[in-house]
Amino acid sequence: MEERRRTIVDSERGITQEEMMESIGEEQMEAFLDAALVRLVLSPDGKFTSYTMPGGELVSFKLGRKVVSTGKDSALDDNDWIVRSGDFAVPKRPQTVTLSVKAGDRQIDTRCFNEFGPSDHPVTFHMGLLEGVFCVGLVEDGG
């Protein structure tokens, strides 16, 4: 698993869901995506949308050294996910992404296994359990 994670980290252009499935297996990937606790969509135009399962809260995310607060205004979508959106500065070069999630009195910071930088496509970061807490950004390739 660690070797597969290194492959993800080394992927400069991002990784698609299909490539991730090839890396860890379709069944394990689908289970991870279905059980994800947080989803953060970063768009090339500097807009973000976060989705968090009730009971948790995506407080902020870091792009490199810059911390972006997700704010307090939220809504529930049709699947009862807590939804927040806002703006962020798109980095000039790929930067590490760290999600700060609060559940009750605990706050967990999870570094994602790939970076976000200028892109033509949105990237969705999924955080959940996969041999421990795991976060990966998947490029939405439109296909």
Per-residue pLDDT of the chain (143 residues; tens, 9 = 90+): 444 444 444 444 456 666 666 667 778 778 878 888 899 999 999 999 999 988 888 999 999 999 999 988 888 887 889 999 999 999 999 999 999 999 888 999 999 988 898 888 899 999 988 777 888 888 876 54
Q: Give me 114's structure tokens.
A: 């790939």
Q: What is the pLDDT of residue 101?
A: 92
Domain ranges of the chain: 2-134
Q: Structure pTM?
A: 0.80
List the one residue out of 66, 31, 32, 30 whose CA is nearest residue 46: 66
The Cα 111–Cα 107 span in angstroms is 13
Is 2.60.40 the CATH number for 2-134?
A: yes
Task: List the Cα angle 109/112/116 in 5-degree steps.
Answer: 120
8-23: string of b/e by CB count within 10 Å (b at 16+)? beebeebbbbeebeeb
Q: What is the pLDDT of residue 12?
A: 43
Q: Give me 104's structure tokens.
A: 């009750």
